[in-house]
Structure 1
């Protein structure tokens, strides 16, 4: 606790106006002409001042006040010194002198002036407040508390400063004294929220939970229907391992007054910890429909429940919360993002994309959201949309290498290979520091070059990809397979496909690639092992046709025809297969 800030805030927040009034109120000769023979409140009654001295005091006081308002504290102090030279028992001048020194953080020097001002005029509350503030600044909290106590005892209508006294007592860990002070304040002001909450904190520090609960119940009974007080008591009970008791208060409130956002959040926490996750989500509905509940709290809560997926029982309740979130906060970027995340995690990719795009309309500066949109469109095979959004995303993030990968991949899928090549080439410059991504980018570049028949550059790109990541299975597969189709560098192709199988022996595609490389190398018996395994694992026309081809080479013509017939039933490209079947002959 910053005590200096605490006490200055109550006093000095309104002090500019007060100062002007005070300076004329306590300055004995300012603002009116004094008749000869009048005696000032702060002048020793045995001391008489002549007319000239009185005028001098007034003039110096006015000058001092003028410079004080201009914050020229040194000049102001000089004039107050002149007042005190003539009239050392001038309460207002002592007060102002103390105030100036305190403003300059010279609190030790300010103290005797503040003490003297209070002694000279013990009915002026501002003198007590300044003195207490100075004691606080020099860390004499005992005297600060004593000063507030004297203020309350000696000055009428100063009960408001009971709160300052209690705060000092709390800081000094004088809990019984603080309780006594708050109880006194409660008698004067009634069961105020601030008083009850402070008393509860003290009781909890003293391990007197029963009394803290009693205070909370009093606050609830005095304010029927106010959910904040019920939730506050419930929170205290939960923190002290009494969730069942907290639950009873919360459920009673709902029964009497209906759903409430604050109550719903508390109940949800209790239900969640008790393993009643679906019930927890259901009671959050009113909170998510409330515009007053902080959206960040909603998003944090919703994200926590989304992390519990997959759980079919939770999907519909969570979707209900998400709809409430975006309905209540239609301009929230984060709301649509979390909605997109929920729909994506539950397999509703169209709805996920819809919400991500709404998020982008509000705030287009989040890279991950753009990436999610493009990923979904690639999954949905909506390649033209993926091209459009990847190009748009690159306008915002031209230095993000992964975006070039997505953009290039989308272009390849619509068969614009030249545009894909340009994107992958640019993307390589932004991924040089990331070997994994750079290897993937070069692999895609190799595929794009191969698609336009530029085998030289395709091989160079594949070689670079494998240099960066020798276990890049995509490149090992495509590179070895394309070499086998070209019947070039077959020893290298076999080496790559063998490595591929050592990495992923369960993949039908990779088994087929290795088997086909062996087939091209006329290692038919070895090829049969891998192609048969691949054909049994996946009903794919190409794989089954390859299996039929190797059977034909091994002299098992009838079995080969059976496999070719299976392959024909799985593809629209039947011409070559029909010819093989009809002629019982292999055509390559």
Structure 2
């Protein structure tokens, strides 16, 4: 209890200082600073009562019994209506109860009665800001700063209120006053810098940023903020020069090198931009995803002789720093792929799936490279491994089945395509691709009924599947079956692809089988303008022979023989001057 009473006594001395100050002014016969009534004279007995009730109010206020505290302070005002300290405490109680409209007149009365007490001003500003009257709060802060010495630290609150009202020049003046009083400070410089940015005075903002860097030379965050500001405002050359002046001081600061790389990149100095990334890429603290995203930005520029080597060194640094990251290995695979080093790209993709085989896109990249490199054994091996991870992905079965088909392992091709076609059923394009390959495989083993059935399903799913239209019509022509249907399909092909030599050859052969040798000759001659092959040239010779142009036919057969791998039939045709189909 002694502690509470002692605290109350001390607070009373502070809060009632307004009364004493007024009395001193009265004795010195100075004019009051505010236009209010003079305090009534109290008897000694009344003064004792005032002190008693005030102490009671303070006690209950400290105990947060605001109802009893209010009663006590109101009794003080009954005896002494001009008691500034009591008005202040009543204002505080209303404020604590969030009744700001009732708090405001008491707070203002206390402040006006004793314009030298900063706590009275602060209560007024608190109530005014709570009521949203920031303009009034600004004036109250300014009044306090003018009337109460030692309150210069509230220049920051004044500036904050001005900033909230977007009175930027007024806020700048307040911060400048604070700087004049306290000297250069981090908070002041940062706030001035932000105001300059908001008001599009970039040069002044940069100037403040440089001052901040000079004031705190061992704090890299300020240099980083300034560099970022320059970059964000397209000051790329200035950012480059500033960062270069600081990289030795902030050695191995990875973010600074990233900003330097950005400055170079924005100026299209791409090789330099990549080279300076070696420092952050060697760091294990920099987020791997960010490194990969940065590298990915350069892949679209490849191949590029200027960038190939710097990017390869960067990728080596990436893998060296993150040897167990499948993302780092896959990104390196992407890099090699984009500089046309397919084997090396596949090597890194394979390393990536050894660590984590759960990324479907990497498996697709591997299989695409296998096919591109015509490594069909690898296609089969890798598609099977991929299917272990993704058994419901139709594309994987398509890769594997196609490799078997190319290797003429028709049994496994059919097995693979039939296993995967169920997963392709919902996608019309994929369904057509699967059944097109099934048609080829069945045709190769002589099961023409299943082959035709598969082709029909493929065309039903995708009527413009040019691969199926070509093979189906060609195989029908070889069997001299449904030639009208074959003609319809091959005619569509040459309409849609008038410069495709393979499709022109197919259409010509359908015409040939229908006995239209002139039509066949015409289309074959057209095909020879684009991509002449041994087969097309041989077919052209056959058409010429049927038209009675024997010598011309033999010339074409000889040309075909020089290009063909198997010349048995051509040799007989040439030797016997006779057709063998």
- How does the TM-score come out when normalised to structure 2? 0.73
Out of 276, 290, 314, the position equivalent to 1:321 is 314
1:96 & 1:374 partners in 2: Cα distance?
Answer: 77
Partner residue in 1 for 2:336: 343
Residues 34 and 471 of structure 1: CA distance in aligned 2, closer, same or farther (over 3 Å): closer
Residues 214 and 61 of structure 1: CA distance in aligned 2, closer, same or farther (over 3 Å): closer
Out of 486, 489, 494, the position equivalent to 2:482 is 489
2:128 & 2:437 partners in 1: Cα distance?
Answer: 74
Out of 219, 224, 245, the position equivalent to 2:212 is 219
1:584 & 1:577 partners in 2: Cα distance?
Answer: 10
2:254 & 2:288 partners in 1: Cα distance?
Answer: 12
Partner residue in 2 for 1:374: 367
Partner residue in 1 for 2:71: 85
The reply to whether residue 499 of structure 1 matches residue 501 of structure 2 is no
Contact 1:94 1:116 in 2 (8 A): no
Partner SS state of residue 41, structure 1: helix
1:164 & 1:205 partners in 2: Cα distance?
Answer: 19
Q: CA deviation at 1:218?
A: 2.0
Larger deviation, residues 215-224 vs 328-337: 328-337
1:510 & 1:253 partners in 2: Cα distance?
Answer: 66
Contact 1:228 1:262 in 2 (8 A): no
2:385 & 2:356 partners in 1: Cα distance?
Answer: 13
Rg bigger for which structure? Answer: 2
Residues 50 and 188 of structure 1: CA distance in aligned 2, closer, same or farther (over 3 Å): closer
2:350 & 2:278 partners in 1: Cα distance?
Answer: 25
The reply to whether residue 518 of structure 1 matches residue 507 of structure 2 is no
The reply to whether residue 200 of structure 1 matches residue 193 of structure 2 is yes
The C-alpha deviation readout for 1:532-559, integer Å capped at 9, x for no partner, is: 4445644644334333433443445555
Partner residue in 2 for 1:417: 413
1:127 & 1:445 partners in 2: Cα distance?
Answer: 92
1:285 & 1:211 partners in 2: Cα distance?
Answer: 34
Out of 172, 177, 186, the position equivalent to 1:179 is 172
Contact 2:421 2:431 in 1 (8 A): no
The C-alpha deviation readout for 1:85-138, integer Å capped at 9, x for no partner, is: 345659899757744x45xxx766777899899999999999988876665444
Contact 1:438 1:465 in 2 (8 A): yes
Contact 1:515 1:527 in 2 (8 A): yes
Contact 2:417 2:434 in 1 (8 A): no
Q: CA deviation at 1:514?
A: 1.9
Contact 1:427 1:441 in 2 (8 A): no
Q: CA deviation at 1:426?
A: 0.5
Q: CA deviation at 1:362?
A: 6.1
The reply to whether residue 586 of structure 1 matches residue 576 of structure 2 is no
1:396 & 1:130 partners in 2: Cα distance?
Answer: 69
1:260 & 1:485 partners in 2: Cα distance?
Answer: 72
Larger deviation, residues 194-203 vs 484-493: 194-203
Residues 233 and 421 of structure 1: CA distance in aligned 2, closer, same or farther (over 3 Å): closer
Q: CA deviation at 1:477?
A: 0.9
Contact 2:60 2:66 in 1 (8 A): no
Partner residue in 2 for 1:527: 520
The C-alpha deviation readout for 1:274-331, integer Å capped at 9, x for no partner, is: 4433343334443443445454444444333322334333322233333334444456
Q: CA deviation at 1:166?
A: 3.2
Larger deviation, residues 364-373 vs 390-399: 390-399
Q: CA deviation at 1:175?
A: 1.9
- How does the TM-score come out when normalised to structure 1? 0.73
Residues 213 and 586 of structure 1: CA distance in aligned 2, closer, same or farther (over 3 Å): same
Q: CA deviation at 1:521?
A: 2.4
Contact 1:193 1:219 in 2 (8 A): yes
Q: CA deviation at 1:515?
A: 2.3
2:357 & 2:145 partners in 1: Cα distance?
Answer: 59
Matches within 5 A, 1:280-299: 280-299=273-292
Larger deviation, residues 454-463 vs 248-257: 248-257
Partner residue in 2 for 1:169: 162
The reply to whether residue 47 of structure 1 matches residue 49 of structure 2 is yes
Q: CA deviation at 1:459?
A: 2.3
1:280 & 1:122 partners in 2: Cα distance?
Answer: 62
Residues 250 and 39 of structure 1: CA distance in aligned 2, closer, same or farther (over 3 Å): closer
Q: CA deviation at 1:354?
A: 3.8
Matches within 5 A, 1:357-506: 357-360=350-353, 366-394=359-387, 400-413=393-406, 415=409, 416-431=412-427, 435-506=428-499
1:473 & 1:447 partners in 2: Cα distance?
Answer: 13
Out of 296, 301, 316, the position equivalent to 1:303 is 296
Q: CA deviation at 1:488?
A: 0.9
Contact 1:98 1:114 in 2 (8 A): no
Contact 1:424 1:445 in 2 (8 A): no
Contact 1:365 1:396 in 2 (8 A): yes
RMSD between aligned residues: 4.6
